[in-house]
Chains A and B, each alone.
Chain A
Amino acid sequence: MLTKRTSYALATAGFMLAVAAGLKYAGGLGVIGDEAVRRGVQVMIGETLAVYGNFIPKDIGSISMPVSSASCSRSPRRLGGWLLTLTGVGYAGVWAFAPIAIANVAAMPLLAAAILITVGYSGWVVLNCRWLPRNR
């Protein structure tokens, strides 16, 4: 039996594969050029990241954070959510509008920086939470 989160993830994956296949097919027919295919796929990746980032701080379905641990998970989820949402929008924007040479160079470091900051901050919060006195 699929949970809500798993269903959403599978639907998103299916959607991404369908769009990528559709763009590739259109490129093969000559309807759009290779550059447009590449830009389209990358914009879709950025937008998917933004959508996923949007829901990081939110509980969906049966997976919810108990109140006792909410204080430790709240700020990393909020920071991660905001960071990945804005990065996804930025990633999509760079691939949609910037010259290909710039998009190639700028988009991935943007994403990498957001992920590193999120992971780093989350790790720091987890360590602090583990070492805090139990009665906090």
Chain B
Amino acid sequence: MNNVFKALSDPTRRRVLELLRKGPMTAGELSEHFPVSKPTLSAHFAVLREADLIAAEKSGKTITYRLNLSVLEDALLGFAQVFGIGAAGSPKRARVAPVLKRRTT
């Protein structure tokens, strides 16, 4: 479970999982959505695979990733997205934070 929390704590990895909700994607297709180098993104994929949140299938030189979440992990992902857990500056956190601030003042 520690691996799952570690995987979900990073907004980039959460974004990868959100993209994979739409369907399986290759590593190349995923990398188009992120302004980071491919080795950095590969490191994120490795963390997600270690936590068993994604599954990979290699076909020739292409690796295709797909989502592999249990219901609890799906719920934790949603929770982490709503509350912007992890680095500040994630788009969802920017939308949710003012709402939370208004409710607490």
Contact = CB atoms under 8 A, between A and B. Distances in A.
Given A57-B74, A59-B55, A64-B55, A70 B66 contact: yes
B12 interface: no
A81 B24 contact: no
Contacts, number: 42
Contacts of B66: 65, 67, 70, 74
Contacts of B9: none
Contacts of A59: 55, 68
Contacts of B52: 58
B67 A74 contact: yes
B77 to A, nearest CB: 12
Contact of B72 (A54, A66, A71, A78): A54
Contacts of A82: 71, 74
A124 B36 CA distance: 40
Contact-residue size bin, chain A (C-beta under 8 Å from the other chain)? 10 to 19
Interface in A15-71: 53-59, 64-67, 70-71
A118 interface: no
B70 A57 contact: yes
Contact of A53 (B64, B67, B71): B71
Interface of B: 23-24, 52, 55, 57, 64, 66-74
Interface of A: 53-59, 64-67, 70-71, 74, 78, 81-82, 85
